[in-house]
A = this chain, B = another copy of it.
Amino acid sequence: MLDDKILITDGKKFKRVFNINSVEKVKLPTGEIDGEKLKEIQKGSSFIVNNRRYYVFNCDLYDYIMYHLTRHTQIVYPKEAAYIMVRLDISPGKRIGEAGTGSGALTAFFSRAVGKDGRVYTYEKREEFVSIAKKNLSRCREFDNIIFHHKSIEDGIEERDLDAFFLDVREPWLVITQVREALKPSGSLGILVPTTNQVSQTIESLEDNNFFILEVSEIIMREFKINAQRLRPKDIMVGHTGYLIFGKKVVDI
């Protein structure tokens, strides 16, 4: 479903995603280009407008999420989404739960990774977010494997024996028992929270609810300036997105 989209970039700040079938005119930092003309440009090629070169690339899921998603909330960024998928062992055929849906960034990664035989059950209590997430996902998803629930998981999770669950909610400690019921034994739980206070409170709740805590960590990405002769990290970087907590459901104690 990303096949009809392209990424246009000037290698500087301009990075935008367009649907090649519906774009009429693209405004560029140095001018504009017509949608018809754009269709003739092969992916991997470039064009020049007023002495600046623009590159046309295929649109990766990364690009769609970073440059095109309609955001109404802080999204889970690719650096965290990537590690979450590895830590929760998200893979073909798995059944995964998630709350809240938010803008659907992580949902998109999960959906693609579990494939046509897997399922992603995603919960979101705020109605407007559900509809935006649905729209976001309809434009990028490859598989018809997402089940949307417009409800808070405080009111219970409908599925059972899930392989993994991911929580991106303000007070995860309020829903650990619900998640526990929905997970299979040894099932994986991942949680993202921005503050240390939330980490402490979540750890306590996980310990109270018989989860084995695998790891508490943060993923920091340090970007470099692309300059072979003057290599150095960028002057300004993202200082913090959130803390990650991973655990497994223990059944017998």
Contacts and interface: CB of A to CB of B under 8 A. Distances in A.
Interface of A: 9, 11, 42-46, 53, 55-58, 60-62, 78-79, 81-83, 85-87, 89, 91-92, 109, 112-113, 115-116, 142-143, 184-188, 194-197, 199-201, 203-204, 207, 212-213, 215-240, 243, 248-253
B252 A46 contact: yes
Contacts of A89: 60-62
A232 B193 CA distance: 10
B220 A220 contact: yes
Please state the number of chain copies in the assembly.
4
B212 A224 contact: no
A42 B218 contact: no
B45 A212 contact: no
Contact of A44 (B112, B243, B250): B250
A217 B228 contact: no
Contacts of A219: 79, 219-221
A231 B194 CA distance: 8
